[in-house]
């Protein structure tokens, strides 16, 4: 059932609730309702928690339990529904009658398995009460700031990201949970997480519109299997891309993938070529692999927009400089022609063995001071648009002083900087510190070049509209 044109559902009650009813809450470990209850307790939710279970007596996990939502008799901002599918329509109707402001249905067993009758009932009820409903067949939502967490994933099995400015949306729960786990190790924080499953009521158009106007969201990462409202999607995509970057990984780009997407979330996957054309037209950044969401997410979250595609490469490893050269040109990027002033300065500050050319190989014994001198010089060169710094911590001069220097630069640097560091435990101990401080670090020049290309292409769209 298609919603009316330009009708957007407000997700604010779900993300900023003062009270939550967990329908299907349970004392039994392993039950979905138990995990959700435990999450709200563990995360320290400061609002009211109302466990609801038709078979419950007394308390659940120390909270007064209720047999029905209607028995609560207090305002409810969010209902999380985790009961068998056949009972969901009547439960949602009861929520509507009780004035519940929003709902997340994590239960599966609807259109994704052919039960369109059940799903249609949900849609009619939601429309009747003008209630934003996320799901069904989803993980739901998470907000580390308001401490809302409807995910039925045990806290000890997934690393939860810190608070930040990146919102991550996934039509798939499995892609959402695994990528969410990875995000926590990438150095950038989370604003909102939304897993919306079958998109029966709240769909990708509603979500993009909400995030477009969400001050906490600076970047949007999106795993998408299909779109139901094509024209409205294009309009809202254009709107949000003018404000903040949106990176989309499209699932279902092959005939097999289209079939899998339909059975997964009852999604209209559609033509891959058509989606790509729409994404390019509306300024959406296209991710080709799951890892791209992470690579692009951290550069957009930490670096300023850029005016051109001239990339200066500073390296303490010659072979990595060669790999960087290939990666840049394969991604439509070029080396700058350094100014005479830069060449003169570098000649004075670098050892005689250093060839003053791009890529700038400053030697395997380069330390923080030498890296800093090179970095300062290329930053001040008007022919340089962005910088890739390859710091191999296996070399004698690369240590914690180099990591500290990069961190200090990132706080005051006027041009985008990405760092490439390849290695094991010693390297990771330094790259983790840099990423925690807002420096995007990549394991290979190829990863870094792809991220720079995405930043440059989006910057061009923001500046010119094409």
Peptide bond into 136 cis (omega under 30): yes
The model carries a pTM of 0.91
Whether 12-300 shares its CATH topology with 304-464 is answered yes
Instruction: Compute the distance between CA of residue 313 and CA of residue 463 in angstroms, rounded to an integer.
Output: 25
pLDDT digit string (tens) for the chain, length 466 residues: 444 445 789 999 999 999 999 999 999 998 999 999 999 998 899 999 999 999 887 899 999 999 999 999 999 999 999 999 999 999 999 999 999 999 999 999 999 999 999 999 999 999 999 999 999 999 999 999 999 999 998 777 778 789 999 999 999 999 999 998 888 878 789 999 999 999 999 999 999 999 999 999 999 999 999 998 999 999 999 999 999 999 999 997 655 444 444 444 444 456 788 999 999 999 999 999 999 999 999 999 999 999 899 999 999 999 999 999 999 999 999 999 999 999 999 999 999 999 999 999 999 999 999 999 999 999 999 999 999 999 999 999 999 999 999 999 998 878 999 999 999 999 999 999 999 999 999 999 999 999 999 999 999 999 987 7
Q: Does domain 304-464 sit in CATH 3.40.50.261?
A: yes
Instruction: Measure the CA–CA gap between 206 and 227, rounded to whole angstroms.
Output: 11
Give residue limits of the domains in the chain: 12-300, 304-464
CATH class of 12-300: alpha beta
CB of 80 closer than 8 Å to CB of 88: no
Give the 3-state secondary structure of residue 370: helix
Compute the Cα dihedral for 13, 15, 17, 19 and give only its sign.
positive
CA distance linking residue 257 with residue 276, whole number of Å: 16
Rounded-to-integer distance, Cα 91 and Cα 83, Å: 9
- As a whole number of angstroms, the distance between CA 466 and CA 461 comes to 5
- Biggest alpha carbon–alpha carbon distance for the chain: 82
Asked if omega into 359 is within 30° of 0 (cis), the reply is yes
Cα separation, 232 vs 375, in Å, equals 45
Reduced to 3 states, what is the DSSP secondary structure of residue 1? coil
Using alpha carbons only, give the angle 335, 340, 342 rounded to the nearest 5 degrees: 70
Q: Does residue 90 contact residue 119 with C-beta atoms inside 8 Å?
A: no
**What is residue 163's three-state secondary structure?**
strand
């Amino acid at each position: 059932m298609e919603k009316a044109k330009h009708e957007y559902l407000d997700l604010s009650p779900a993300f900023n609730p003062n009270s939550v009813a967990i329908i299907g809450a349970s004392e039994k470990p392993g039950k979905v309702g138990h995990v959700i209850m435990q999450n709200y307790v563990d995360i320290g939710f400061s609002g009211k928690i109302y466990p609801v279970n038709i078979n419950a007596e007394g308390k659940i996990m120390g909270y007064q339990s209720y047999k029905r939502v209607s028995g609560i008799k207090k305002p409810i901002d969010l209902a999380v529904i985790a009961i068998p599918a056949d009972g969901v329509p009547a439960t949602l109707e009861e929520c509507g009658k009780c004035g519940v402001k929003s709902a997340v249905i994590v239960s599966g067993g609807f259109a994704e398995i052919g039960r369109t009758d059940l799903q249609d009932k949900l849609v009619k009820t939601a429309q009747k009460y003008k209630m934003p409903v996320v799901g069904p067949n989803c993980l739901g939502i998470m907000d580390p700031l308001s401490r809302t967490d409807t995910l039925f994933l045990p806290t000890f099995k997934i690393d939860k990201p810190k608070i930040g400015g990146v919102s991550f949306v996934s039509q798939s729960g499995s892609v959402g949970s695994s990528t969410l786990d990875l995000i926590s190790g990438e150095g950038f924080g989370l604003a909102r997480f939304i897993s919306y499953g079958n998109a029966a009521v709240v769909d990708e158009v509603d979500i993009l519109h909400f995030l477009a106007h969400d001050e906490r969201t600076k970047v949007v990462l999106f795993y998408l299997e299909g779109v139901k409202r094509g024209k409205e999607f294009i309009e809202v995509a254009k709107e949000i891309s003018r404000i903040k970057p949106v990176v989309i990984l499209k699932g279902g780009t092959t005939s097999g993938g289209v079939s899998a997407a339909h059975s997964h979330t009852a999604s209209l996957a559609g033509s891959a070529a058509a989606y790509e054309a729409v994404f390019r037209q509306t300024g959406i950044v296209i991710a080709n692999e799951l890892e791209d969401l992470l690579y692009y997410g951290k550069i957009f979250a930490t670096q300023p927009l850029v005016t051109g595609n001239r990339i200066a490469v500073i390296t303490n490893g010659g072979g990595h400089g060669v790999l960087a050269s290939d990666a840049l040109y394969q991604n439509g990027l070029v080396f700058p022609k350094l100014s005479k002033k830069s060449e003169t300065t570098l000649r004075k500050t670098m050892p005689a063995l250093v060839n003053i050319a791009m890529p700038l190989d400053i030697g395997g014994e380069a330390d923080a001071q030498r890296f800093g001198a090179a970095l300062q010089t290329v930053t001040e060169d008007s022919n340089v648009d962005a910088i890739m710094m390859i710091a191999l911590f296996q070399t004698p001069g690369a240590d914690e002083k180099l990591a500290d220097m990069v961190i200090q630069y990132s706080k005051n640097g006027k041009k985008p900087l990405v760092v490439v560091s390849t290695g094991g435990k010693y390297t990771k101990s330094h790259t983790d510190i840099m990423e925690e401080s807002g420096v995007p670090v990549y394991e290979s020049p190829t990863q870094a070049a792809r991220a720079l290309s995405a930043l440059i292409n989006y910057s061009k769209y923001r500046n010119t509209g094409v």
